[in-house]
Amino acid sequence: MAIRIPVPASSTIVSRLAAIVGPEGVSVSDLDRLHYSRDMYPGTLILQSEGVRESFPDVVVWPENTEQVQQIVRFAAEQKMAVVPFGAGSGVCGGTTPVRGGIMLDMKRMSRVIEVNDDDLSVTAQPGIMGQNLENELERRGYTMGHFPSSIYCSTYGGWVATRSAGQLSSRYGKIEDMVLGCEFVTADGEIRRAPEAPGEALGPDWRQIMTGSEGTLGVLTEATCRIWPTPETRLFVAFTFPDVPAGVQAMRLVMRHGLRPAAMRLYDPLDTMMVGTKGAEEETSGVGIMDYVPLDAIGTKLRAMAPKIFRRAQRAVNRWADVGNKLEGLARQGCLMVLMFEGSDRLTRFEFDQTIRFCERLGGRNLGPEPALKWYRNRYHVSYKMIKVFYNQAFVDTIEVACSWDRVARLYKDVRDAIKTKAFIMAHFSHAYPDGCSIYFTFVGSAMNPRAAHALHQEVWRDAMDVTVRTRGTISHHHGVGLSKAEFMPRELGDGVKLLRALKNAFDPDDVMNPGKLGL
Amino acid sequence: MKRFKGNIELRHKLTDIFGPDRVREGALETLIYSHRPWTRSLLEMKAGRLPERLSFIVWPETVEEVSRLLRLANEWKVPVIPMGTGSHRRGAPAAPGGIACDMKRMKRLLSFDEDSMIVSAQAGMLIWELERTISRRGYTLGHVPPTAPSSTIGGAIATRQAGRLSARYGRIEEMIVSLQAVLPDGSIVKTRTAPRSATGPDLDHLLIGSEGALGIITRAKLRVALSPERRVFAAHAFSSFENGARALRLVVRAGLRPSGARLMDVDETRAAFRGTKTADEKCVLCLAFEGREERPGVEEEIAAEIGRKADGKALGEEPSRVTFERSYLDGFRRHHVLAETGGVADVMDFAAPWSRVGALYGAVRKALKDRAEIRTVLGHPTPNGASLSFFVTARAENGDATALFDALWADAQRAAGRGGGGVAHHFGGGAQYAARLFRRERIGRTVPAGEGRARPERDFESGPAERGERIAAGREATVSDLFTRYFKEIDYCTFCPKMCRFSCPVANVTGNETYTPWGRQTVLHLVREGHLPFNREAATAMYQCANCMLCREYCDYLVEVPPVMIAARAKAVEEKLAPHEVIEYRDFSRRKTIRTATTCGRACATWCRTRISRRTRKVVYFAGCSHLYHYPQAVQDTFRVFEAMRVDYVACHEGEAMCCGAPLRELGLEAPYKRKRGEARGGAVALQGDRVGQPAVRSRAADDLSGDGF
């Protein structure tokens, strides 16, 4: 089925936009618009092979400075055209889906590092710079931002701020909202606004916290200042196994409660432990590597190429992820792996490291030495790659990152698992710990006889998981954001808080120009 | 603005919601609630300009009542001012004719989840009350604003307070897990409770710092931390403010989190350490670290290393200990100046990134130094910046202190803007913030950290810290002395941001600002200055004091409010304004039959009577009438203890001869009291032996009868 791409924006609009950003900065080509029609939302990926694409932008624009953004937004407001700010499109929630068409505002031409300030330990950069580029730039000068989402290669600085991103080392460096010292953005009324840069402002509401996570619904981020740190002197690794999930969770809780700040602390549930393996980095095969499991792959690529449809159907027929999961569950006997990493200034880091080891050992953790943690560190961005293989093999994989306070962590883990495990293979790890709670990161793999059914199953899994989470009073998203896919759950997530959100939207963007349909707005 | 004062229909509607007891519209209370202990409003008052009054005060007890209030207010288009303790030093917006919604009756601790270290409390709870409760279980909130004893949770959040320990525990907004609030339209909102969430903007931040303009906060869930096990102090001297600032910057840059960090400039060093060797140093950086096990020690050693490398001179721990143990005297100094000289004193806070701290320091000082004395402290460090507090004192040459105050502030702000201070950058239109720029105040005492201590500590470790001069003028003053002898007491309390408020039982039970020591003394101040008549309402307020003297315990000047109240009550009796209960008591006390038959159990009376016959014993025991009346069993138990210990004792019963007359005196009934005292004298002198007894009676006897051989 061919994808039907709707008619682009009229030539008048294009010429008006070209007058702002120059002819090079505007495109209405079908291909461009096709590529801006989705992000990494698995729900769309499942239907990829069916050729289903629902929404397209009318025009793609690449501004080069704040003033151009301002003029574009003013123009859009005048035309009542939607504006969808776009970073690198790596989101997994459909946050950049142009549900009402309009202008796709790609920020990646605004990618300068404006200033690295040594006194203030801050970096000021434009939003379009890719995460890893920014980190490289900082590393070159002897700093780190400490923000390492697994999407660091494929996400932008601005995207981090807009979606309330959290990196893998958040326990030590904080999440993006802890890092943002100041920002500049253009709101729907066409004004350039700056949130204060001085630390600890007490002047009314903190607009940085309102803009961080607004997912482009209130304005376009055009510049942000974030805190940075000197490159750490020391980096220390250790891993433990705990007999079960509650024991491991208990250890995490105690470490955080005593004010220790591991750079990373991740606890894998028995199934996930089995997948990653508890051996060191040299033995890459130590884990089961279920994501690498390819049914019928032995038959070879030739057959696949010859009769792709039949092959796919056959693959779907043998994909039995839920059953695999349930079988493996009984076999998972290695306990729960916890990997720990510390970094920072030499003496303090070592002090905290030793104290943490004492805590873990006291709580029944078996010390495995640094190897498994090193292995995690080397492979820390790999999860994003594994996704490809699963989709390639006609299954789907998605992740659900919820969070709640410690008193409910065990229950939330069990309830979500119980709700999903008959429908898909599900495993989890606990990470991003805080003194008051932690995040649970579920990975589920599923499949169905055809993409439509798979899509339906995917939706069903999400609905069930979200339902359980809301009932357990967890948050439905710890760090992926809301976008389009979780929009329907927002009223339950926020309760009457939706009113506040709606009021904000009305104040900044009464005509609903900015990224419509997101955040449940 | 429309006035709603005396509006019967509105009063009825409010009474429907709150009942008759929780709606007030008296002139006195509305005036007290309209006044704020911030410098400008004090200056205004000194100049005889009273604030415009509110129409009503209400005390909600549930979130539903708040919601109904706001719906009603919407219907009537009457402004509502949410209030905690009103200790805010920068002045909440005045709303003449509006309704003050006093949150202090919503003061319950709702839950404490020790696993997750989350405490949930109603907005009207005092921060120190919360701290006290959780410290018994080994936790601390770590929030010590300058007005710590008198800040409510809701107030701290609504004004986005930064506590003294912010470098370690964070500012108040970093402690918030979730909030419950009533929006202006009356709808009740709860924000999400997860430790962190990526579902859109953090809506808590719409309410934090909104000063009630966007809703009334009714409940908060807050993160707490484990109580520290130990504290370590260190002080370093630097040759210049810049060098000191650099050292402090390196300390936080290294990932250290000092619980206390104060860099003083030359002027502040001289003032703060006056009379010690340290005063000769140029700039002193005081650091404190706290935590568990060896951690504070390790952090301190790292900091010491940094200090050494930055050319600092180690001064040992003493200057730092003194600095952080020092109470709120800093805050009081300005009041002192105000009260004494009619000048101007205030603290101006500006935050800046480190790269602009030096410029800010120079700019503000340059702008003000011709007209004012300025001392500066750098504090609240983060790896990215810090804040400067300028303690500014000046004398109004032409007598117009308010104009001087405004001019100083305006110039300081302009200079701070040039120097790159926080006020230079703000979001959106400037005008809306201009009036609100005066905010944070961050001097104060360090958090009570011990576990299970009975009351908020005055300092880190030791007992009562050194206090300021004692100004208590004594306990016996007559009506004529009220405004002369107690002049200073009245003024000091009037200018105080209610530091003792949390301890006052009457204030806590009523939740009424008029009935705080501050409120009552302010009434007297206004009466004295001729701004307010001493009428029945004012007189009644003078009786809203239990004479417990707790306020004195939390006053650095040991101001004793009860004697002032007693003198004021005497004034009330003299002017025939005393409440009818007082007159009833006077008549009651005149009746001869009241003694044993009605106030004391018969059995107890027998006990007493048999033992008073012998006049010479080793121990004379004064039981006290309230003990005999309320706890006769306790008195009898005391006798049993004496007997078991074979103590040769005699008990004085509360018969006519031994009534000390204290209740009469405390009610302001001077004449009957003097009569009673005369009668007591004869009986007391006749008794020989060591005197023991109920503390109140003993102290009363010692005070009142000291001239009679006691």
Task: Give the tens place of pLDDT for each residue, A474-513.
Answer: 999 999 999 999 999 999 999 888 888 998 899 889 899 9
Alpha-carbon span B84 to B357, nearest angstrom: 33
The beta-carbon neighbor of B351 closest among A191, A195, A200 is: A200
The beta-carbon neighbor of A405 closest among B161, B193, B205 is: B193
CB atoms within 10 A of CB B685: 12
pLDDT of B472 reads: 44
**What distance, in Å, lies between the first and last C-alpha atoms of chain B?**
62
- The reply to whether residue A203 touches residue B433, judged by beta carbons under 8 angstroms, is yes
B440 touches chain A (CB under 8 A): yes
Residue pair B417/B410 in contact by the 8 Å Cβ criterion: no
Distances (CA, A) of A317 to A45, A322, A328, A450, B628: 19, 13, 20, 9, 91
Q: Reply yes or no on whether the pLDDT at B329 is more than 80.
A: no
- The reply to whether residue A203 touches residue B437, judged by beta carbons under 8 angstroms, is yes
Helices (H) and strands (E) in chain A, counts: 21, 18
For the residues A182-202, what does the mean pLDDT come to? 78
Distances (CA, A) of B327 to A113, A257, B149, B373: 46, 30, 12, 22
For the residues B217-225, what does the mean pLDDT come to? 95
Q: Which of B690, B624, B689 is nearest to B659 (CA)?
A: B624
Distances (CA, A) of B408 to A493, B215, B289, B342, B402: 48, 33, 36, 16, 10
Among A231, A436, A519, A521, the residue to mutate for chain B (most B Cβ within 10 A): A436
Backbone angles phi, psi at B517, to 5 degrees: -55, -40
Q: Reply yes or no on whether the pLDDT at A284 is more than 50.
A: no
Touching A: B residues 67-106, CB under 8 Å? none
Contact partners, residue A162, CB within 8 Å, separation at least 6: A85, A87, A127, A212, A213, A214, A215, A216, A221
User: If you ran DSSP here, which 8-state letter would residue A475 be given?
Assistant: B
Q: Reply yes or no on whether the pLDDT at B445 is more than 50.
A: no
Alpha-carbon span B304 to B310, nearest angstrom: 10
Q: Reply yes or no on whether the pLDDT at B112 is more than 70.
A: yes
For the residues A46-52, what does the mean pLDDT come to? 77
pLDDT in tens, B409-435: 888 888 887 765 554 322 322 222 333
Give the DSSP H or E segment for A346. Answer: helix A346-362
* Stretch among A9-23, B590-604, B610-624 having the lowest mean pLDDT: B590-604
Secondary structure (3-state) at A517: coil
Q: How confident is the model at residue B671 (pLDDT cuts 50, 70, 90)?
A: confident
Backbone angles phi, psi at B5, to 5 degrees: -60, 135
> Is the pTM of the predicted complex or chain greater than 0.80?
yes
The beta-carbon neighbor of A496 closest among B113, B187, B210 is: B187
Distance, C-alpha B230 to centroid of its chain:
26
Alpha-carbon span A143 to A123, nearest angstrom: 10
pLDDT of A305 reads: 66
pLDDT in tens, A324-350: 777 777 777 788 999 999 999 888 999
User: If you ran DSSP here, which 8-state letter would residue B231 be given?
Assistant: E
DSSP string of A26-56?
EE--HHHHHHTS--S-HHHHHTGGGT-----
pLDDT of B48 reads: 76
Shortest alpha-carbon distance between residue A222 and chain B (Å): 15
Residue pair B112/B137 in contact by the 8 Å Cβ criterion: yes
Residues of A in contact with B293 (CB under 8 A): 355
pLDDT of A135 reads: 94
- The reply to whether residue A122 touches residue B384, judged by beta carbons under 8 angstroms, is yes
Shortest alpha-carbon distance between residue B662 and chain A (Å): 50
Alpha-carbon span B24 to B325, nearest angstrom: 41
Backbone angles phi, psi at B114, to 5 degrees: -70, -30
pLDDT in tens, B13-46: 999 999 998 998 877 888 888 777 677 777 777 7
Q: Is the dihedral of CA B127, B132, B138, B142 positive or negative?
A: positive
- Comparing alpha-carbon positions, the chain B residue that sits nearest to A178 is B174
Give the DSSP H or E segment for A159. Answer: helix A157-163
pLDDT of B275 reads: 83
Strand partners, B387: B351, B379
pLDDT of B178 reads: 93
Residues of B in contact with A258 (CB under 8 A): 226, 292
Distance, C-alpha A506 to centroid of its chain:
27
The beta-carbon neighbor of B191 closest among A212, A405, A497 is: A497
Q: Reply yes or no on whether the pLDDT at B295 is more than 60.
A: yes
pLDDT in tens, A198-220: 555 556 678 888 899 999 999 99
- Comparing alpha-carbon positions, the chain A residue that sits nearest to B221 is A436
Alpha-carbon span A515 to A503, nearest angstrom: 16
**What distance, in Å, lies between the first and last C-alpha atoms of chain A?**
32
The one-letter code for the residue type at B538 is A
Strand partners, B345: B393
pLDDT in tens, A233-247: 999 999 999 999 999
Model ipTM value? 0.90
**Interface contacts (A, B; CB < 8 Å):** 259
User: If you ran DSSP here, which 8-state letter would residue A230 be given?
Assistant: E
**DSSP E strand stretches across B460-582:** none
- The reply to whether residue B201 touches residue A209, judged by beta carbons under 8 angstroms, is yes
Higher pLDDT pick, B617 / A82? A82
Among B89, B175, B203, the residue to mutate for chain A (most A Cβ within 10 A): B203
Residue pair B261/B219 in contact by the 8 Å Cβ criterion: no
- The reply to whether residue B256 touches residue A213, judged by beta carbons under 8 angstroms, is no
User: If you ran DSSP here, which 8-state letter would residue B152 be given?
Assistant: B
Residues of A in contact with B167 (CB under 8 A): none
Touching A: B residues 190-209, CB under 8 Å? 190-209
The beta-carbon neighbor of A193 closest among B159, B422, B428 is: B428
The beta-carbon neighbor of B201 closest among A191, A212, A437 is: A212
- Comparing alpha-carbon positions, the chain A residue that sits nearest to B421 is A198
For the residues B672-701, what does the mean pLDDT come to? 66
Q: How confident is the model at residue A295 (pLDDT cuts 50, 70, 90)?
A: low
* Stretch among A146-155, A218-227, B20-29, B192-201 having the lowest mean pLDDT: B20-29
Residue pair B690/B620 in contact by the 8 Å Cβ criterion: yes
pLDDT in tens, B384-418: 999 898 888 888 777 778 888 888 888 888 888 77
Shortest alpha-carbon distance between residue B554 and chain A (Å): 28
- The reply to whether residue A482 touches residue B198, judged by beta carbons under 8 angstroms, is yes
Alpha-carbon span A317 to B312, nearest angstrom: 74
* Stretch among A271-285, B116-130, B650-664 having the lowest mean pLDDT: B650-664
Secondary structure (3-state) at B280: helix
Give the DSSP H or E segment for B375. Answer: strand B372-382
Q: Reply yes or no on whether the pLDDT at B204 is more than 80.
A: yes
The beta-carbon neighbor of A120 closest among B161, B254, B384 is: B384
For the residues B613-621, what does the mean pLDDT come to? 62
pLDDT in tens, B60-79: 999 999 999 999 998 888 88
- The reply to whether residue A196 touches residue B209, judged by beta carbons under 8 angstroms, is no
Alpha-carbon span B236 to B347, nearest angstrom: 24
- The reply to whether residue A122 touches residue B440, judged by beta carbons under 8 angstroms, is no
Token pair in block for residue A466? 């979200």
The one-letter code for the residue type at B402 is T
The beta-carbon neighbor of A348 closest among B161, B205, B302 is: B302
The beta-carbon neighbor of B209 closest among A193, A206, A351 is: A206
pLDDT of B597 reads: 38
Among A225, A234, A405, the residue to mutate for chain B (most B Cβ within 10 A): A405
Give the DSSP H or E segment for B239. Answer: none
Alpha-carbon span B573 to B567, nearest angstrom: 10
Give the DSSP H or E segment for B578. Answer: none
Strand partners, B216: B182
Give the DSSP H or E segment for B207. Answer: helix B204-207
Give the DSSP H or E segment for B80. Answer: strand B80-83
Q: Reply yes or no on whether the pLDDT at B269 is more than 60.
A: yes
- Comparing alpha-carbon positions, the chain B residue that sits nearest to A481 is B198
Shortest alpha-carbon distance between residue B8 and chain A (Å): 34
Touching A: B residues 484-513, CB under 8 Å? none
B342 touches chain A (CB under 8 A): no
pLDDT of B393 reads: 85
- Comparing alpha-carbon positions, the chain B residue that sits nearest to A204 is B209
- Comparing alpha-carbon positions, the chain B residue that sits nearest to A217 is B200
Q: Reply yes or no on whether the pLDDT at B288 is more than 90.
A: yes
Alpha-carbon span A155 to A149, nearest angstrom: 9
- The reply to whether residue A204 touches residue B436, judged by beta carbons under 8 angstroms, is yes
For the residues B207-236, what does the mean pLDDT come to? 91
Shortest alpha-carbon distance between residue B208 and chain A (Å): 6
Q: How confident is the model at residue B471 (pLDDT cuts 50, 70, 90)?
A: very low
Residue pair A60/A27 in contact by the 8 Å Cβ criterion: yes
DSSP string of B683-703?
HHHH-EEEEEE-HHHHHHHHH
- Comparing alpha-carbon positions, the chain A residue that sits nearest to B113 is A407
For the residues B461-485, what does the mean pLDDT come to? 52
